Structure 1
Amino acid sequence: MKRPRLRNNERVTTAPPLEFPGWRHIYSGKVRDLYVPAGTADEAAPTHLLVVASDRVSAFDHVLAPGIPDKGTLLTTLSLWWFDQLAGADGGRCIANHLAADHALVGDEAVELIPDAVRGRAMLVRSLDMQPIECVVRGYLTGSGWAEYRDSGTVCGIPLPAGLNDGDRLPEPLYTPAFKAPMGEHDENITFERSVELVGSDTAEALRELSLEIYRRAAATAEAHGLILADTKFEFGYDADGVLTLADEVLTSDSSRYWDAEAWRTGSTAAERMASFDKQIVRNWLADNWDKQGEPPALPAEIVTRTRDRYAELLRLLTA
């Protein structure tokens, strides 16, 4: 994982980043902070990076206040759990990931490499040659896909059967890549053919194959725990040996849309059927209480608590 580029008009938090002995801060996004070993030259590719998930929460291109307590720990714990599943714990083939050993042997003692101040909400990862493709997989029709389908009968230009409704399961999962735009620009949905132009046919095919395999395995795991994985997104990079490697966070509430399977089957309204395990509570409150002009209002304590509980419930349901 290399130093990321700001995109989607990200507003970087103004709070000063934490400082740790042996690490140098290089980047703060809306919700995460990135560090490299202190001795790394400015333009050199670091051997390892420390990715710290904060408790910050963002919506509508703004970082909001207050944050969601334990959010960084909950999301990191879920990512680590999924990395373990995809490494073969679920019985499938091992999907290579960017995690590095977070302990080192010094003499006879195992030394923790992640600083105490962020332990539990940080990952030590290997540096990768990240690919400029966001690998989106959709198993259900909703969100921007539903809006496009109503207008044209397609999702990201892919024709779908007539008569589908919001929240319906798609006949087959769809791979709908996006180009990760540079600073100040929005990510762009692209065709598979355009992804071939950007990264080459071999890499484009491998990204599609891996993304669909991971989605199908994760969706089956979620279903076994009473959940629906409606859609998700992945990022990949090549490691030093040329292995295409799963990176960033994976299958968390911030990168994926999960629904309760029983509510989806029996709910009488779209809101009941597709209540997601993420920050939708925050988005809904802002939509009702802010005109998107100026700085957003502070989140009420009740909204913060409900959102935290929703993140925690997903982790409990999946890992119980």
Structure 2
Amino acid sequence: MEYINDRSLHIGCHLSSSKGFEHMGKEALSIGANTFQFFTRNPRGGKAKDIDQKDVQAFLKLAEENHFAKLVAHAPYTVNPCSKEPKTREFARMIIEDDLNRLEYIPGNYYNFHPGSHVGQGMEIGIEIISDLLNDLIKPDQSTIVLLETMSGKGSEVGSRFEELKAIIDRIQIKDRIGVCMDTCHINDAGYDIVKNLDGVLSEFDEIIGLDKLYAVHINDSLNPVSAHKDRHAKIGEGHIGLEGICQVINHPKLRHLPFILETPNDLNGYQNEITMLRERFLG
């Protein structure tokens, strides 16, 4: 299967990393995917599995032979680098540092994380803490690009507004190793109307952050309407964004070259159906 060319759709889903990279690669190919996302460790945190060098080499060979797009590694949900609790911040530092070191075994991919919640400290302080941590951990010789995920704006989350992500990026010293992953459910819930005004949303992103900093997209429908400030993903076509809204995203000339990752509430068969459906609607 050779999917990657100038006119192809780079699409995958979230896969379990419990059986290793080669297994994930084969699983992705079996459902028509040419990229995938995985948790670097248990999504609730904890120690990561030891790296299996043979597994890594087998995957790298498989990925090269099948022209995989960039992969997206996802930090655990428990990581909150701007918590008001020093112990929680130190946990986030330990996880992110370890993850970035481990990702060099599969070089040149992306590391995505939720910027976190300032928990009453205020947005400016949250942004400062996140930026300081990333400046300590991002190294000039690393091949991995760190992605800040757009958030829905529930509670005291940082990153639901483009201005907040811009403020973090502006503070980062090694700017060619920082970027953004846009989540369709999250930005819908945050108040960006990608169904009725996708061009406007992307223009706003470009003016504030710059589309050159957008490296990946999570494609999810949303159970909630625009500006709900919640975060409940829906299967494609079963939410307020809808199939046509998602198709606008994957076919937009400013986005269509990016890797798209499904995080919809699905099993493997469900992901395969969505990938097939979106490939059929992709104007390649």
- Normalising to structure 2: TM-score of the pair? 0.29
Richer in helix (by share)? 2
- Normalising to structure 1: TM-score of the pair? 0.27
Larger Rg: 1
